[in-house]
Amino acid sequence: MLPARYRMTRSTDFGVTVRHGARAVQPDLVVHALHDGFPDGCDDGPKIGLVVSKSVGSAVQRHRVSRRLRHAAFHLINDEATDLGPRARVVIRALPGSRDAISARLESELRAAFKKTRTQKPSRP
């Protein structure tokens, strides 16, 4: 379970992270990450947002994928090796293949994608 303080809830936060963050594509998900966060100085912990569209499947399948991704994101936040700073913003977009993926696979793809975003420069339009 991902605690509420780590959840990204504002649509503007989603938009800024997707537009300006580094992007990493995996077979079952796409990760957009801003490691420096927002310049407004909010240091209340990393924020994780999920995008699970109808292309993933029925409501039951989408909810299952969301639960699995929230669980994987919680492990990502608590892992010291990921070095997820207090101002980091991450958006995880599930692709249709994620409905058939097991939790361990989703977690490993999330870690690999996050590691990739650490080495990329954020996009600035």
Q: What is the pLDDT of residues 11-21, one digit of tens each?
A: 998 999 999 99
Enumerate residue ranges in the chain where pLDDT < 70: 37-43, 80-82, 121-125
Res 85: pLDDT: 78
Structural tokens at position 29: 């998900």
Give me the DSSP letters along 21-45.
SEEEE-SSEEEEEESS--TT---S-
pTM: 0.89
Residue entry with tokens 């995008």: 51
4-119 has which CATH code?
A: 3.30.230.10
pLDDT above 70 covers a percentage of the chain that reads 88
